[in-house]
Amino acid sequence: MTKNPKNIAFDDFAVVDLFCGIGGLTHGFIKENFIVDAGIDFDQSCKYAYEKNNDTKFIYNDITQLSLRKLTSLYTKGKKKILIGCAPCQPFSKYNHTEKKSKHIEKSKWKLLYSFSALIQKLQPKIISMENVPQLVNFNNGKIFNDFISKLRRSGYHISWSIVNAQDYGVPQRRKRLILFGSKYGEIKLIDKTVTEKKYKTVRMAIGHLPPVEDGIVLSDDPLHRARKLTELNKKRIQATKEGGFWRDWDKDLWLDCHKNDIGKEYRSVYGRMNWDDVAPTMTTYCVGLSNGRFGHPEQDRAISLREAALLQSFPESYDLIDPEATFSSPKIARHIGNAVPVELGIVIAKTIKKHINEVGRIR
């Protein structure tokens, strides 16, 4: 670690969160007592949840059009800058690797990561962090990721990165993510795993305390605890699915056409039920749809509710996601939840940076 010419302390820093969404990463930093001056996102519908739960500013802005002057103005004057963010991961997902989609992505999505890099180079924050999908590392033969790292190193950053599974850090979900750090002071080492395999937070631990709710019914005490109404056929399918099971539990008259061919027989991750005593599968933007993954409740005959999805993303139960001034949209809120950085993972990133600052502050 390079010698720091001036003694620094944790409260010398302020944070801005790019691609902030509804604030999962921001909330993790706030839990660790960081000053978060603002979150920036191009999805205006995230504003209510972000500001309501984090008591900080939501800035509606296209990152590709964000000026250095505006970004700089968001930071508390006199504070050293930390820039964090989770550039949208859909471009690098394994579900987007068809030739047709890749050409579209190249034109419209890669620029977000390059814009993130450009803002870092202009702003020159002392510390940066990025969270993304692991596929980014090898996407397009590694060119996108290597370009990102190379530019940062040329700007004087010590770069480190890890592929982690969120279940190792207290998130009740199997979710592999890339976490990258950069610092002007020296290399940042991710903190050790906070839980062992035998102590993973399970689905039961996360949502087992919630009252039962039927599909299509809204719990009066919690409007977020609602599950999609199932068709009569899908109701029969979930009833035929055992805990931890999937469509192969069904009689063949319930199968979809795709299940009858060789390719479809490998689709094990749809129409599945979760297991009470295991972690949940990765929450996606379609995490409340029965046909979109293993999102069936472990024992109730329905897909998980929005509240359950939020808890499995480690949002506090008090986290308010429903804007009273907007028309309620279950798909929109599911998208907000699935796109979010799990709060517990945000806490891990914040703890890692705090540890780094403390170590740097002890250098004379």
Residues 6+ apart with CB under 8 A from 68: 119, 122, 123
- Tell me which residue of 317, 320, 314, 321 sits closest to 343, measured CA to CA: 314
Run of H or E residues at 14: strand 13-18
Question: How far is the C-alpha of 149 from the C-alpha of 136, rounded, in Å?
Answer: 12
Determine contact, residues 116/63, Cβ cutoff 8 Å.
yes
Kind of pairing between the strands at 80-85 and 127-132? parallel
Domain ranges of the chain: 10-199+342-361, 203-339
Strand segments, DSSP code E, in 176-275 are 176-183, 218-219, 222-226
Which residues have a Cβ under 8 Å from the Cβ of 107 and sit 6 or more positions away? Answer: none
Outline where the chain has alpha helix (H). 24-31, 47-54, 68-74, 99-108, 110-123, 143-154, 203-207, 232-239, 306-312, 330-339, 343-361
pLDDT of residue 2: 47
- 10-199+342-361 is classed in which CATH architecture? 3-Layer(aba) Sandwich (3.40)
Strand pairing report for 13-18 and 36-41: parallel
Q: What are phi and psi of 243, to 5 degrees?
A: -55, 130
Q: Over its length of 364 residues, how does the chain's per-residue pLDDT go in tens digits?
A: 444 445 677 889 999 999 999 999 999 999 999 999 999 999 999 999 999 999 999 999 999 999 999 999 999 999 999 999 988 755 445 544 444 444 444 555 667 888 999 999 999 999 999 999 999 998 888 888 999 999 999 999 999 999 999 999 999 999 999 999 999 999 999 999 999 888 999 999 999 999 999 999 998 899 999 999 999 999 999 999 999 998 878 878 787 766 555 555 555 668 899 999 999 999 999 999 998 889 999 999 999 999 999 999 999 999 999 999 999 999 999 999 999 999 999 999 999 999 999 998 765 3
Burial code of 279-299, b = ≥16 C-beta within 10 A, e = fewer? bbbbbbbbbbbbebbbbbbbe
Q: For residue 242, with 0-12 CB atoms within 10 Å meaning exposed, 13-18 middle and 19 or more buried, which class applies?
A: exposed
User: b/e map of 136-161 (b: 16 or more CB within 10 Å)?
Assistant: bbebbeeebbeebbeebeeeebbbbb
pTM: 0.91
* Tokens coding 65: 């059009």
Question: Which pair of structure tokens corresponds to residue 41?
Answer: 């996102």
Residue type, 333: I
Q: Which pLDDT does position 105 carry in this prediction?
A: 47
Q: Exposed (0-12), middle (13-18) or buried (19+): which is 343, by Cβ within 10 Å?
A: buried
Contact 22, 296 (CB under 8 A): no
> Contact 54/105 with Cβ under 8 angstroms?
no
Sequence-separated (6 or more) residues with CB below 8 Å from residue 362: none
Cα separation of 26 and 17, whole Å? Answer: 7
Residue with tokens 């530019």: 151
Active site residue ranges: 89
pLDDT at 236: 94
Superfamily grouping for domain 203-339: DNA Methylase, subunit A, domain 2 (3.90.120.10)
